[in-house]
């Protein structure tokens, strides 16, 4: 028993380390592969493919070895993962950067990601089948022991997700976090090796019993593998949608992914632990597993039904206040600020996410020990059965992720996707009810009632437009929604008629175009003596790219935007609001709107630009560190023609210091009215000649409305450039004053 408890601790530690490694490895790869859905999904698919292969291999190997022998193999696999982790920054960052420009398609990207991740993820995957053989001594205890082991590993993974996202990455950076995870694996390997050496004589390497043949000569467990594959597809599909919804709830910041993943894993682990305690008392575990899918399908919709149709007026008012204020929760003027902050934390980080996904994920975990019991009928086939079961589930995970991400979100939106996934789960549950039709009348009535509730939830679930009106606090008729695989894009009409752009329920900018974004586009072009080609990273409402187009000297203006739905919203403005700006963005032959990752676009570019602007996201957004790092600015500088200008707003002092480390000439310009500051940076002195700029704006910018023209003139006449760097070496600053690829400090704003 002491050995089992020690292995549970080891499995907890490796669960923690594996999630920490997955999070950091995905961030490292995204720096060069991009953060668009294609890139991120190929990383997830490659990671899961390795885990699935490991489960298959581990199952075969475990059944051919004694319990003592599998401890030695487990120790070796953990040690190899730890060693790989230590060298992974060189492979996944420096090595990937060298190869990235030649990875042109989805297939080549996936193949390269798989080649990088196959070895460590396969070694991670072998752990569960090996430990299954190492800790289970009788068939009767298999489902209980393995359900408990799975719960412990998942709790460790939840801790890894939470601690990494909320603390480690923002406090110590990527490399130090990888070293911690590698140390956990090496320590786990050491403990497993000690247990292997201390094994008693009766557990030495005696040949494991040969697997007994089933009466038909084939594996009778295959229907359960198929069922668990289907539930795996539903589970990961639901996770994709839950992440999108909670991201909207949390207003899309760097902590969203860690928070959602932590809650998901905690709920799953608690469910698995609960299932492990009761599985021994269930006579028909397979039918119970199937019937639980009824409850999973119902609760996947029920939480959102409760939120959208909030029956309690005070709570409903809190939700509407939070969404309408774009993240500020107003609970009455008499409530102290600290109480409002506490209420917001409870609402955003606990009540909302748990309501959306807590119960269905708990039930997913609860179901695992029951299906494990169905494939654990023979001790001699325990490792193989466990490996195949987990492999089937992972195959379902991959399929569910790909189908939801690339097909269903585009075709059905979040609401339709949820309804379809819940329907699949309910259908599987109805099959389980049908299989148990000879059970007691009371039991049939209970499960029949659950089936009725599940089918009712599927039938009355709100439309996609109604669901997202809730997250935007938009009345009927005030929301124009374009949901696609990458983002949820929306125009919301405010009371004054202003159109405000929201991405993933977070406000960005609006139309009519505000002066600040127009100035960021038009001023750097006017300052340049003879611009020909320009690049805008980030479309938004289109104001920066449109500002660039006002300079007729430019022969090409490229705009790269990761959220392709924004282009559809620009078309909507052009058609329904008679927006001349939107029509120019769409129809000007110099304008090229490109859907893609801006950093990846720069990395693959062949020709330089004369002007580059970056107006992509707030610095605390998820993966924002990719476009606010010293290495990114070096990439920008490398793709500017001699004398070219780089323009970007100044969101934080650290961003300005980071730019100053790369560009020898940096000036900061303040937009009148306290609207903010933006910088101009170049390899040559940046000269702000008011008279020449006035001449250029007078001769150009025919598309500017009179108010915009007056604002630009006022800016030119009143601006006083603040020189931040005028040649020479950069001023020495502390490392903590900079953002880097491997330590994006501004992104993790709570850890500053």
- DSSP string over 228-257: HHHHHHHHHHHHHHHHHHHHHHTTS-TTHH
pLDDT at res. 376: 77
Write the CATH number for 3.
1.20.1250.20
Specify if 393 maps to a domain. no
Q: Are strands 499-503 and 722-726 parallel, antiparallel or unpaired?
A: unpaired
List all residues 6 or more positions away from 353 whose beta carbon is below 8 Å from its beta carbon. Answer: 246, 249, 250, 259, 260, 263
Name, in order, each residue with C-beta under 8 angstroms of 88's C-beta and a sequence gap of 6 or more. 21, 25, 28, 120, 178
Same domain, 560 and 706: yes
pLDDT at 213: 47
Tell me the C-alpha distance between 498 and 511, whole Å: 6
Look at residue 693 and tell me if it is in a domain: yes
Same domain? 681 vs 733: yes
Q: What does the pLDDT look like over 281-313, one tens digit per residue?
A: 888 898 899 989 989 999 999 989 888 876 655
pLDDT recorded at residue 210: 47
- Answer whether residue 266 is part of any domain: no
Digit-coded pLDDT (tens) for 77-133: 999 999 999 999 999 999 888 888 777 677 787 788 888 888 999 999 888 888 777
Model's pTM, two decimal places?
0.88
Q: How many CB atoms lie within 10 A of CB 477?
A: 8
pLDDT of residue 325: 58
Last residue of a domain, one of 448, 473, 498: 473
Q: Is residue 113 part of a domain?
A: yes
Residue 461 belongs to a domain: yes
pLDDT of residue 713: 82
**Helix boundaries (H) for 325-440:** 337-346, 352-374, 382-403, 409-435
Within this chain, do residues 576 and 455 fall inside the same structural domain, yes or no? no
Same domain, 177 and 228: no
Q: What pLDDT score was predicted for residue 623?
A: 87
226 and 140 in a single domain? The answer is no
What's the confidence (pLDDT) of residue 557? 96
Residues 500-515 have pLDDT tens digits of 899 888 888 888 887 7
Task: For residue 328, tell me if it sits in a domain.
Answer: yes
In whole angstroms, give the CA distance from residue 234 to residue 418: 9
In order of 612, 645, 664, 665, 684, the CA distances from 681 in angstroms are: 10, 6, 8, 6, 8
Give residue 685's domain range: 513-751
Question: Is the same domain home to 543 and 445?
Answer: no
Given 473, 499, 521, the domain boundary residue is 473
Q: Do residues 304 and 453 make contact, with C-beta atoms less than 8 angstroms apart?
A: no
Q: How far is CA 47 from CA 16, 114, 212, 395, in A?
A: 16, 7, 33, 12
Angstrom distances, CA of residue 428 to CA of 126, 185, 409, 434? 29, 38, 22, 10
Element holding 31 (H helix, E strand): helix 2-33
Residue 497: inside a domain: no
Residues 227 and 200 in one domain: no
| 486, part of any domain | no
Beta strands in 672-735 (DSSP E): 676-682, 722-726
Judgement on whether residues 384 and 525 belong to the same structural domain of the protein: no
Alpha-carbon span 490 to 543, nearest angstrom:
16
What is the tally of structural domains in the chain?
3
Domain shared by 75 and 173, yes or no: yes
At residue 610, the pLDDT reads 97
The answer to whether residues 349 and 259 touch, using CB atoms and an 8 Å cutoff, is: yes
The CATH number that applies at residue 524 is 3.40.50.150
pLDDT value, residue 204: 42
Structure tokens at 88: 């992974």
Same domain? 230 vs 189: no
Q: Is 494 helix (H, G, I), strand (E, B) or coil?
A: coil
- HSE value, Cβ hemisphere, 13 Å, CA-based, for 696: 23
**pLDDT value of position 752:** 64
Low-confidence ranges of the chain (pLDDT < 70): 1, 104, 137, 200-219, 310-341, 343-344, 379-380, 436-444, 447, 672-675, 700-702, 752
pLDDT at 530: 93
Return the number of other C-beta atoms located less than 10 Å from residue 710's C-beta.
12
Other CB atoms within a 10 A radius of the CB of residue 193 amount to: 17
pLDDT at residue 634 in the model = 97
- 334 lies in the same domain as 192: no
Domain shared by 357 and 435, yes or no: yes
Residue in the block written with tokens 């206040």:
321
């Amino acid at each position: 028993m002491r050995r089992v408890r020690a292995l549970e601790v080891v499995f907890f530690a490796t669960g923690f380390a594996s999630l920490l490694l997955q999070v950091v490895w995905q961030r490292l790869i995204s720096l060069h592969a991009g953060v668009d859905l294609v890139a991120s999904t190929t990383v997830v698919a490659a990671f899961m493919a390795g885990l699935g292969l490991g489960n298959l291999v581990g199952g075969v190997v475990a059944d051919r070895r004694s319990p003592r022998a599998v401890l030695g193999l487990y120790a070796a696999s953990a040690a190899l993962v730890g060693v790989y982790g230590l060298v992974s920054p060189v492979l996944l960052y420096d090595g990937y950067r060298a190869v990235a420009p030649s990875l042109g398609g989805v297939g080549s990207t996936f193949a390269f990601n798989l080649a990088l991740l196959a070895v460590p993820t396969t070694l991670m995957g072998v752990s569960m089948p090996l430990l299954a053989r190492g800790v289970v001594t009788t068939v009767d205890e298999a489902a209980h022991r393995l359900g408990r082991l799975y719960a412990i590993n998942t709790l460790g993974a939840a801790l890894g997700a939470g601690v990494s996202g909320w603390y480690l990455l923002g406090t110590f950076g990527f490399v130090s976090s990888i070293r911690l995870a590698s140390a956990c694996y090496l320590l786990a390997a050491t403990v497993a090796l000690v247990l292997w050496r201390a094994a008693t004589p009766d557990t030495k390497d005696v040949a494991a019993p040969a697997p007994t043949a089933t009466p038909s000569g084939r594996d009778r467990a295959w229907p359960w593998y198929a069922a668990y594959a289907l539930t795996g597809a539903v589970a990961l599909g639901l996770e994709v949608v839950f992440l999108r919804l909670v991201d909207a709830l949390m207003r899309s910041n760097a902590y969203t992914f860690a928070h959602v993943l932590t809650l998901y894993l905690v709920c799953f682990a608690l469910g698995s632990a609960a299932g492990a305690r009761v599985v021994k008392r269930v006579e028909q575990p397979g039918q119970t597993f199937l019937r639980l899918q009824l409850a999973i399908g119902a609760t996947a919709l029920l939480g959102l039904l409760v939120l959208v149709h909030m029956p309690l007026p005070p709570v409903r008012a809190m939700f509407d206040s939070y969404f309408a204020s774009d993240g500020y929760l107003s609970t009455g003027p008499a409530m102290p600020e600290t109480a409002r902050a506490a209420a917001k934390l409870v609402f955003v980080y606990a009540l909302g996410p748990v309501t959306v996904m807590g119960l269905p994920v708990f039930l997913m975990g609860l179901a695992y020990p029951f299906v494990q019991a169905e494939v654990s009928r023979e001790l001699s086939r325990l490792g193989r059965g466990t490996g195949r079961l987990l492999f089937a589930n992972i195959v379902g995970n991959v399929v569910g992720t790909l189908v939801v991400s690339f097909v269903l979100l585009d075709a059905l939106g979040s609401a339709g996707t949820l309804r379809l996934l819940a329907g699949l789960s309910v259908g599987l549950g109805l099959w389980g009810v049908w299989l148990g039709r000879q059970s007691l009348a009371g039991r049939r009535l209970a499960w029949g009632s659950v089936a009725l509730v599940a089918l009712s939830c599927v039938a009355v679930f709100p439309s996609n437009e109604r669901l997202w009106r809730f997250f935007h606090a938009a009345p009927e008729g005030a929301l124009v929604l374009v949901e696609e695989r990458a983002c949820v894009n929306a125009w919301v009409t405010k009371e004054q008629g202003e159109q405000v752009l929201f991405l993933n329920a977070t406000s960005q900018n609006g139309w009519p175009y505000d002066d600040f974004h127009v100035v960021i586009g038009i001023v750097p072009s006017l300052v340049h003596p003879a611009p020909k080609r320009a690049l805008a990273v980030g479309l938004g409402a289109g104001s920066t790219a449109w500002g660039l187009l006002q300079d007729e000297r430019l022969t090409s203006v490229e705009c790269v935007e990761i959220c392709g739905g924004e282009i559809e919203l620009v078309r909507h403005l052009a058609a329904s609001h008679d927006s001349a700006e939107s029509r120019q963005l769409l129809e000007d032959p110099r304008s090229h709107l490109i859907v893609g990752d801006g950093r990846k676009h720069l990395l693959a570019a062949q020709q330089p630009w004369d002007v580059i602007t970056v107006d992509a996201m707030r610095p605390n957004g998820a993966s924002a560190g990719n476009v606010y790092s010293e290495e990114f600015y070096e990439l920008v500088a490398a793709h500017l023609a001699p004398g070219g200008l780089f323009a970007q707003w100044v969101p934080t002092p650290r961003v300005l210091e980071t730019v100053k480390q790369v560009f020898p000439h940096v000036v900061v310009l303040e937009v009148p009215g306290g609207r903010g500051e933006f910088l101009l940076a170049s390899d040559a002195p940046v000269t702000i000649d008011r008279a020449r700029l006035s001449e250029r704006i007078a001769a150009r910018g025919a598309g500017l409305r009179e108010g915009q023209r007056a604002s630009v003139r006022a800016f030119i006449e009143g601006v006083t450039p603040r020189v931040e760097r005028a040649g020479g070496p950069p001023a020495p600053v502390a490392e903590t004053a900079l953002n880097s690829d491997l330590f994006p400090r501004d992104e993790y704003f709570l850890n500053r």
